[in-house]
Amino acid sequence: MPTYVFRTTDQTSQTPVDIRQSFANNEAAKQEARDALAEMAQDGLPVNDLKRLAITVLDEFGNCIVEYRLVLEETTDVAEGDRLTVMTINPEIFPR
């Protein structure tokens, strides 16, 4: 089975950590990365300077297959009294 690298940036780290795992194919590696990102989010919101959680999946040759990110964004671009709800869904992460 091919070996993949999950390059992770968690809640507190500035430097990504590489984790090697074997999967049957790209789709299996991508599914595991999505699941791992969801687990990372359960541990809390990012407090690193990047304000994001991320997992980049690299194939055995170091080529990027996909990167999944959860970004914490703060904004003050809201008029007084207005309510703002922003949701961005990446269809690659959440297929219909």
β-pair partners for 69: 54
Q: Is 23 exposed, middle or buried (0-12, 13-18, 19+ CB in 10 A)?
A: middle
Specify whether the CB–CB gap between 60 and 24 falls below 8 A: no
pTM of the model: 0.71
What are the residue boundaries of the structural domains of the chain, listed by start? 3-71
In percent, the amount of the chain with pLDDT more than 70 equals: 77
β-pair partners for 64: 58
Mean pLDDT, all residues of the chain:
81
**Residue owning tokens 């671009």:** 77
Measure the CA–CA gap between 41 and 46, rounded to whole angstroms. Answer: 8
pLDDT at residue 87 is higher than 80:
no
Task: Write the pLDDT tens digit of every residue in 42-53.
Answer: 888 777 676 788
Task: Write the pLDDT tens digit of every residue in 1-25.
Answer: 999 999 998 777 778 899 999 999 9
Q: What pLDDT is stored for residue 42 in this prediction?
A: 86
Q: What pLDDT is stored for residue 94 in this prediction?
A: 45
